[in-house]
Amino acid sequence: MSNIPVYQNYINGQFVQHSANYIEVMNPANGDVLSKVPSADKVEVEQAIHAAKQAQPEWASRPAIERAQYLHKIAEKIRQNIDRFALVITQEQGKVLSLAKVEVNFTADYLDYMASWARHIEGEIITSDRKGENIFLFRKPLGVVAGILPWNFPFFLIARKMAPALVTGNTIVIKPSEETPNNCFEFTQLLDEVGLPKGVFNVVCGSGRNVGQALSSSEDINMISFTGSVETGSVIMSAAAKNITKVNLELGGKAPAIVLDDADIDLAVSAIKASRITNTGQVCNCAELVYVHAKVADEFIRKISDAMASTRYGDPQLDPDIEMGPLVNKSCLNKVASMVEQAIAEGAKVATGAKVADTDSGYHYQPTVLVNCHADMEIMRKEIFGPVLPIQIVSSLEEAIELANSLEYGLTSSVYTQSLSQAMRAIELLNYGETYINRENFEAIQGFHAGTRKSGIGGADGKHGLYEFTQTHVVYMQN
Ligand code: NAP
């Protein structure tokens, strides 16, 4: 216990000694205490915002290609330390090591990708109605961005906020989740090593109630880029409203997987199973429920139940061959268990699983398939965020889409069919930010990850995600 690392907030280019309370970070697979991290107060948040604000004009005045060089250097350093970062993520978050390595590699790729935009950020020149006038649209940084992070892909999400922010000339203050801050401090160490100018990137760790709220209600923050739950997104939006601060919200999902009567069932089974157990079901865009056509329902249910039941799970550090680790904490385990109990009370039948796993330690839940589900059940409407797949039988594509569009979330969806016209019809009718045909998550760096309805405002990735971090300055120039 005495040898555990004690991390410090990173403000104005320095790890600053913290004098007040610390939070202990736990390993969800075995309960070990991994580190102590600051539980910061409003004063430290204000110091970080001040540092970011002071640093921003000079940072923005540099050529974008020079800003991008820092991102490339960080990416290079990440690639030199893949195993080390993957272990830090696995220990505090519980995902299997192979997935943690994917996350680390993807993070490095993301930094390089966003850096590659340095020579492609474009304004516009528009013809005027007036003689001798040109209309210029300049694309400029917003100023200081606050990045508030969840715990499920904590390392990647640092890059998803900071890379587009920095290459477009903003500075940033990051608040990691209290559950998974260690990887953020290790990432920050790299920034320190590549000599990023002071104040450009700052980290303040502490609770959402204190640090998150102070960031969201600050008038010196020009955009809050938040990834997390709908409930917190709504609180952040209210706080931001006071100062009319721009929000970019990447919130929860309830991704429906629609399996049609002409689907390749084996493909659908393997894709949906992989999606549902990836990161123990704790992914915003993984299949959260299935609408299966009555004609193929028996075969699909039998095969997906067998596939889910065969999932190997346990402590990712003890067995590198497992497919699934624990849930991130006890309260998430309890939430999943209680949603399943509620579904059974509402009439769902258990095809497999439906119990807290009988393991020596860790927050493990059995991979679960529930059938006989219908649209009124809580489990068919609320995000589960665990390895539980509820299934409803439908009689047509139109019925599935009507159900899918009635959900309060609109992040991602998937459709399994071998017919191009059914696929195109689904694309036309689905009111979702993202749809996968004959596959499940994940999204691509160059795509655009965004939700409709309560799944968020704005989006991330690609050109459109990059431009979220800019504002337009229009100039009317009369000769
Ligand atoms: P969460 O509970 O909403 O927390 C997210 C972050 O917000 C944490 O850093 C949290 O701080 C902070 N926070 C809490 N209360 C706050 C407040 N009043 N003001 C400002 N910040 C506050 O979400 P989570 O449980 O970490 O993450 C899971 C959720 O994220 C799921 O719903 C998932 O679908 C969603 N997600 C969405 C995407 C996407 O791209 N759409 C991607 C990943 C995850 P603490 O340290 O106190 O927790």
Q: What integer best gives the mean pLDDT of the chain?
A: 97
Q: Which tens digits make up the pLDDT trace of 398-434?
A: 999 999 999 999 999 999 999 999 999 999 999 999 9
Same domain? For 36 and 142 the reply is: yes
For 256-298, the DSSP string reads EEEE-TTS-HHHHHHHHHHHHHGGGG--TTS--EEEEEGGGHH
Same domain? For 246 and 260 the reply is: no
Q: Is 416 in the pocket of ligand 1 (CB under 6 A)?
A: no
Rounded distance from Cα 149 to ligand 1 centre (Å) = 6
Residue nearest to atom 36 of ligand 1 (CA): 228
205 included as an active-site residue:
no
Say if 407 falls within a structural domain.
yes
Question: Which CATH number characterizes residue 217's domain?
Answer: 3.40.605.10
Please report the pLDDT score of residue 5 as a whole number.
95
328: phi then psi, degrees, rounded to nearest 5:
-70, -30
Same domain? For 139 and 195 the reply is: yes
Q: Which tens digits make up the pLDDT trace of 32-51?
A: 999 999 999 999 999 999 99
Q: Give the tokens for residue 471.
A: 């504002």
In this structure, are residues 190 and 74 in contact, taking their beta carbons and an 8 Å threshold? yes
* Choice among 284, 286, 332, 373 that is catalytic: 284
Nearest CA-CA partner of 201 in 50, 52, 43: 52
Q: Which amino acid is located at 365 in the chain?
A: Y
Please report the pLDDT score of residue 111 as a whole number.
98
Residue burial 219-258, b: 16+ Cβ < 10 Å; e: rest: ebbbbbbbbbebebbebbbebbeeeebbbbbbbbbbbbbb
Please state the rounded mean pLDDT for residues 72-88.
Answer: 98
In this structure, are residues 194 and 77 in contact, taking their beta carbons and an 8 Å threshold? yes
Q: Which tens digits make up the pLDDT trace of 136-157?
A: 999 999 999 999 999 999 999 9
9 sits in which H/E element: strand 9-11
Rounded distance from Cα 152 to ligand 1 centre (Å) = 9
Residue nearest to atom 26 of ligand 1 (CA): 150
Angle CA(237)–CA(240)–CA(245) in degrees, nearest 5? Answer: 120
Question: Which CATH number characterizes residue 354's domain?
Answer: 3.40.309.10
Say if 82 falls within a structural domain.
yes
Cα(312)–Cα(401) distance, rounded to whole angstroms? 33
Same domain? For 425 and 465 the reply is: no
Question: Would you say how long the chain is, in residues?
Answer: 479
Say if 64 falls within a structural domain.
yes
Classified as helix, coil or strand, 216 is helix
Instruction: Examine the pLDDT at 2 and tell me if it is beyond 80.
Output: no
How many domains, the chain? 2
In this structure, are residues 146 and 201 in contact, taking their beta carbons and an 8 Å threshold? no
Cα(162)–Cα(151) distance, rounded to whole angstroms? 16
Please report the pLDDT score of residue 20 as a whole number.
81
Per 3-state DSSP, what percentage of the chain is helix, strand, and coil (rounded to 5)?
Answer: 40, 25, 35
Atom nearest to 451 CA in ligand 1: 41
Q: Is 149 in the pocket of ligand 1 (CB under 6 A)?
A: yes
Instruction: Examine the pLDDT at 19 and tell me if it is beyond 80.
Output: no
Residue with tokens 């999932």: 311
Alpha carbons within 13 angstroms on the beta-carbon side of residue 31 total: 6
Same domain? For 117 and 201 the reply is: yes
Q: Is 224 in the pocket of ligand 1 (CB under 6 A)?
A: no
Please report the pLDDT score of residue 150 as a whole number.
98
Which residue range is the domain that position 90 belongs to?
9-251+455-478
Nearest CA-CA partner of 469 in 69, 56, 63: 56
Nearest CA-CA partner of 355 in 388, 320, 391, 318: 388
Q: What is the CA radius of gyration of the chain?
A: 23
250 included as an active-site residue:
yes
Going by DSSP bridges, is the β-strand pair 9-11/14-16 parallel, antiparallel, or unpaired? antiparallel
Nearest CA-CA partner of 283 in 470, 70, 102, 120: 102
Q: Which tens digits make up the pLDDT trace of 246-260?
A: 999 999 999 999 999
Rounded distance from Cα 125 to ligand 1 centre (Å) = 40
Same domain? For 72 and 148 the reply is: yes
Same domain? For 194 and 339 the reply is: no
Same domain? For 129 and 236 the reply is: yes
Q: Which tens digits make up the pLDDT trace of 185-241?
A: 999 999 989 999 999 999 999 999 999 999 999 999 999 999 999 999 999 999 999
